[in-house]
Amino acid sequence: MLVASGLANASSDKSAIVVLGDSISAAYGIDLEEGWVALLAARIEQERMPYTVVNASISGETSAGGLRRLPALLEAHQPGVVIIELGGNDGLRGYPIGQLQTNLRDMISLSETSEAQVLLLPMEIPPNFGKFYTDAFRATFTQAAEHTGAALADFPLASVALEPELMQADGIHPTAAAQPRILDAVWSSLEGLL
């Protein structure tokens, strides 16, 4: 787990932003310092905003894994904002859509109960499981955020996913060059919460 912005010496007058994600937020295949979460920490520090950034992302993480880990993260960091970037691995593995939606809603509920604002980052998946599953997967993020206080961002990889030079050879993970664009996409939704 990486604690950035003010780097490990976060003062108690700063509020934490916890990023709970998978490989997209864990900077898979690139240096951790090049990932969008590290760039977020640098931007917040540069703008002298009173937040620390805690990257609690793990490559391969599912919504169920994130839900299991979230209570301890909330207790340890008492965040003002929780960014949830999970679901991609659920979709790639064909997990039940209903379970993904329940897990996302439970993470939002836990975060809001601990008085954190929530930003939900929707994911997209290749159409391997057919149109019905892909459409249901896409709709899950909107449905999970409904009737909650969570803010729903746009798909953070929208500006890079279809540009081969910005994607790693696996076609799933963005390159280091793509990370500033991902940060800009997240920032457009996050800035209002800060």
Q: Catalytic positions, please?
A: 23, 170, 173
- Say which amino acid occupies 93: R
CB atoms under 10 Å from CB of 33, counted, come to 14
- Chain centroid, CA 3 distance in Å: 15
> Residue 123: which residues within 8 A CB-CB, separation 6 or more?
24, 85, 86, 87, 88, 91, 137, 141, 155
Helix (H) or strand (E) holding 20: strand 15-21
Please tell me the distance from the alpha carbon of residue 94 to that of residue 22, in angstroms, as a whole number: 16
